[in-house]
Structure 1
């Protein structure tokens, strides 16, 4: 007998950081996980794809095919070299770097959502959840221009996707956290690149996603903003 509570989820950016933790969480729970990343993922069915390029988006579409998808979890993200440290210099950030950051953080979520919209529409209560940042909120920009622009763009794109795909009954949410306790962030704090702080626990990110997926199809949540206490 098929467990009706089990879900099929696509996790983008599943090889490290937040995406790896999220993919592992759903795999342990027994859900069917498709893990999208350039380098191998330790959880789920790995879909090798460079989402900064059109052929990477196509690879995701080919791998998923016509399957029903309950949730698209876009957890991927990139930023400029030296971002969030004293080493960052806007004038040393190349045009190529700017375009890469925006292509991964803003364009890829739009294109992957368009690509998988029919798969999501087949589910009873589909949701698309994206990892944003507090820097994408009003009056919260950081000096990392490309990353901030990409996160503002992501929120705007998701708000527009909600309108463009309203007839498909997909729930759309952007989670906007301050620093999250990934291995990379913890190392930056330990080695002094970040100021002493207690980052948001990974468990709280996962709990937020679980909560969103537990809501009825009658509820949509535009943003979940998570701040360090």
Structure 2
């Protein structure tokens, strides 16, 4: 049985990841601001470094995996109404804090618990890839930065036997996403089944401690 920390586990992709690993018999610790119904929940606002530190203290025992799924975006992101000039400074700052600073601080705080053979899996986005062509400035910058952080963490931690990977999925076809694409409140385009994201994480967790897969991008082909 692996002990897995899932950050951002109260809803969306994070809740699906936590639910998946509870169902497969792993011990899941869910970190999020609001309660998570999956695993053992610890309240943690990832935008607040003091809460990150408190959450880490509340986690006991050796960890096998840290999965950081937490992510936020601009109020009108992915819609035809998004405007960079209308995005408040506070919104931009919080996006960069939650999506980029928090994963780095959380990984650093949990290093003593991970030890040799531990894995860190960061969930990025195709919005962070080069020349992606979408206009959400803060969100795209945070996800591009997360790719850089993943590459640097992999180098910084390889001497400790900890592997770091980042997954960059396109839109995941949840009911909410599909409905928003149909009614025009979200820009159109293809979407991926949730099962593909879960399968990609599963693949990473089945690798031996001697292997590392640095980056996987999941690109929808149906739109």
| TM-score over 0.5 (shorter chain) | yes
Shift of 1:160: 0.9
**Which position in structure 2 is the counterpart of 1:45?**
40
Q: Distance in 1 between matches of 2:177 and 2:51?
A: 27
Measured after TM superposition, the shift of residue 166 of structure 1 is 1.9
Distance in 1 separating the partners of 2:24 and 2:198: 12
Among candidates 114, 119, 141, match of residue 113 of structure 2: 119
Query: Could you state the TM-score of these two structures normalised by the residue count of structure 2?
Result: 0.95
**CA-to-aligned-CA distance 1:148-207 (integer Å, 9 cap, x gap):** 110011011111111222221111111001101234312312322235554100011001
Counterpart in the other structure of 2:29: 34
* Number of the residue aligned with 2:200: 208
Distance 1:183 1:95 in 2: 31
Change beyond 3 A, Cα 1:105–1:196? closer
Counterpart in the other structure of 1:223: 215
Structure 2: distance between partners of 1:60 and 1:138 = 34
* Residue of structure 1 in register with 2:68 after alignment: 74
Counterpart CA distance in 2 for 1:194 and 1:81 is 12
User: Contact 1:33/1:45 (CA < 8 Å) preserved in 2?
Assistant: yes
RMSD between superposed Cα atoms in Å: 1.3
Contact 1:77-1:104 at 8 Å conserved across structures: yes
Secondary structure in 1 matching 2:53: helix
Residue aligned with 2:18, SS: helix
- Residue 166 (str. 1) matches residue 161 (str. 2): no
Q: Map 1:1-229 to 2 at 5 A.
A: 6-65=1-60, 67-121=61-115, 125-229=117-221
SS in 2 for 1:155: helix
Runs of 4 or more off by more than 6 Å in structure 1? none
| Displacement after TM superposition at 1:56 (Å) | 1.9
SS in 2 for 1:51: coil
Normalising by structure 1, we get a TM-score of 0.93
Indicate conservation of the 8 Å contact 2:157/2:163, yes or no: no
1:43 and 1:133 mapped to 2: Cα distance?
24
Distance 2:153 2:181 in 1: 36
- Judge conservation of contact 1:48–1:59 (CA < 8 Å) in 2: no
Measured in 2, the distance between the counterparts of 1:195 and 1:14 equals 25
Unmatched segments (≥5 aa) in structure 2: none
My pick for the range that moved more, 134-143 or 86-95, is 134-143
Deviation at 1:142, TM superposition (A): 1.9
User: Per the alignment, in what secondary structure is the counterpart of residue 173 of structure 1?
Assistant: strand
